[in-house]
Structure 1
């Protein structure tokens, strides 16, 4: 049902689509509806079902992130929506620019721990072009952030699109040191990244439970590692599923720049916090990037600072 479309035009969904499940951290049920949205609106989450009856639209951009500890959480006042990264990765990986997302629950459902369920929902709804040019962020100069041995950077790319180079290093088997490189396309996202699941160590579970997190994590939505192996009966989907999932997280986190990035991303031992810091550093360094497409719009408006939605 996905339409053929020029990549220079913005896109949205062809119809509304709904999903439901349990949040990986809260353990609470959640239902979300993804609906078509107008050109220029971006990805906007609205939290429903609050005790005070208020609805709080939140644009999925870095300035609205209230926490990047273990997951990305959008927040404004008393309203928050957690664990948006896998859904954001699916939207960016399939080149969907504008979506209105109603969330009845505190967290995006974990599904199977990957972006596959979100890809299926997007495919069911279809993707259509809008009569407006797509705005992208072209990297003009390198930006880099670091935290000890971990680091992440964006640099100009020799060819168009987003080039990703992600490396992880864990002492524990079966992860070890893994590295994967790719130029992002919808086809490669579907085949190589979308099905990679989140992972965690059994030894960390009790601490997370005491902190009120990972309450919905299970073998159905997490690769659980203990004694040097994955405990999941079905095993791994890819030999390097761990670094593929980190690449999935990177894509969802970079989407918080508010527009597709044209450039080369590279990281070593990165995570949500470092990825967010990189996006924030990029947007705070005007000399490091330029917008391509929608050049006629004022810069403040192109940055997403105008309008009623936060």
Structure 2
């Protein structure tokens, strides 16, 4: 059965790129509502923005969506990953400005509050997106691929010159609580050398050592160091789940990312939906539901790190 939150939860923080204060509220929604953002600072007629692959517009270092009126919401990937990783299909995400708060730079605070609030089953079956063919997009050395699999799997590799990151690879089946236990507390990251360049372009204005992992060569500058030795690739997998959640349904397929990012993952979804016969929607029975992200999670599964 489809799921939504048992009760609303609220977050206060700062936009990573805008540096503006932000208030975000996750609100239960009815059957077949899907995932929508609502800008509470705008008139109702222009406030609703669908969390869908075809609503994505160009954005730097984040995922940004917009509606036909030009209303935008950016840096949605972490909250989208939390919602997908907790197995929620119906939700209204209210926000009082153009950017989701970064919180601690991971999805852990969102996950902790979602699991604390609890979810409720609704009176309609879950529909899943089954990948039937191999779909691949490339941009220079970067690639993103979807291919058939019995559940959602993510296989990711990155390669950075900084020794604090270097080359990292990880592959996970996201059935049950894998996202919550393995990925959700991994934070966004950047190189110290890139910080001033980003700020000169109006980016990372809300970034701090407390909401991002900042590295300089072999040194990790953020207090407390890394949460995982391979935190960087785990965070890239987190981002990929959030971007794949814009498909509008849980995916049954293997996602492979090689140096890929938000734009390439969205290009992959656009290529997928443009190709007839490469996918189909199926109704999830109990056995399939058990293989989807979020199945069987309990409040005690909440991550220990949650700002």
Fold equivalence (TM over 0.5): yes
Match of 1:88 in 2: 80
**For the Cα contact (< 8 Å) 1:48–1:55, is it kept in 2?**
no
CA deviation after TM superposition for structure 1 residue 124, in Å:
2.3
The match for 1:19 among 3, 6, 11 is 11
The match for 1:154 among 137, 142, 146 is 146
Q: Residues of 1 paired with 2:201 and 2:256: CA distance?
A: 32
Match of 2:297 in 1: none
Match of 1:173 in 2: 163
TM-score normalized with structure 2 length: 0.90
Q: Residues of 2 paired with 1:163 and 1:78: CA distance?
A: 34
Q: Which runs of 5+ in 2 are unaligned?
A: 285-307
Deviations 1:66-86 (CA, angstroms, capped at 9, x unpaired) = 224210111123411110000
Q: Residues of 2 paired with 1:119 and 1:220: CA distance?
A: 18
CA deviation after TM superposition for structure 1 residue 39, in Å:
1.3
CA deviation after TM superposition for structure 1 residue 286, in Å:
2.2
Secondary structure at the residue paired with 2:33? coil
Q: Residues of 2 paired with 1:180 and 1:116: CA distance?
A: 19
The aligned length equals 284
The match for 1:282 among 262, 272, 295 is 272
Q: Residues of 2 paired with 1:290 and 1:21: CA distance?
A: 39
Deviations 1:129-150 (CA, angstroms, capped at 9, x unpaired) = 1110101100111100000111
**For the Cα contact (< 8 Å) 2:49–2:71, is it kept in 1?**
no
Instruction: Indicate whether 1:100 and 2:92 are aligned.
Output: yes
1:120-269 alignment, distance < 5 Å? 120-157=112-149, 160-269=150-259
Deviations 1:166-218 (CA, angstroms, capped at 9, x unpaired) = 11111221111100011003421111100000000111111111111100000
Match of 2:48 in 1: 57
Q: Residues of 2 paired with 1:55 and 1:68: CA distance?
A: 20
Q: Which runs of 4+ in 1 moved over 6 A?
A: none
Q: Residues of 1 paired with 2:123 and 2:45: CA distance?
A: 33
Secondary structure at the residue paired with 2:202? coil
**For the Cα contact (< 8 Å) 2:82–2:184, is it kept in 1?**
yes
Q: Residues of 2 paired with 1:30 and 1:196: CA distance?
A: 21
**For the Cα contact (< 8 Å) 1:89–1:115, is it kept in 2?**
yes
Q: Residues of 2 paired with 1:136 and 1:187: CA distance?
A: 18
Match of 1:302 in 2: none
Q: Residues of 1 paired with 2:202 and 2:105: CA distance?
A: 19
CA RMSD for the aligned pairs? Answer: 1.5
Q: Residues of 2 paired with 1:272 and 1:23: CA distance?
A: 18
Q: Residues of 2 paired with 1:111 and 1:286: CA distance?
A: 40
- Which shifted more, 195-204 or 183-192? 183-192
**For the Cα contact (< 8 Å) 1:19–1:32, is it kept in 2?**
yes
CA deviation after TM superposition for structure 1 residue 228, in Å:
2.1
Q: Which runs of 5+ in 1 are unaligned?
A: 1-8, 295-310
Cα 1:280–1:53 change in 2 (3 A) is closer
**For the Cα contact (< 8 Å) 2:159–2:165, is it kept in 1?**
yes
The match for 1:66 among 54, 57, 65 is 57
Match of 1:35 in 2: 27
Secondary structure at the residue paired with 2:93? strand
TM-score normalized with structure 1 length: 0.89
Q: Residues of 2 paired with 1:215 and 1:54: CA distance?
A: 30
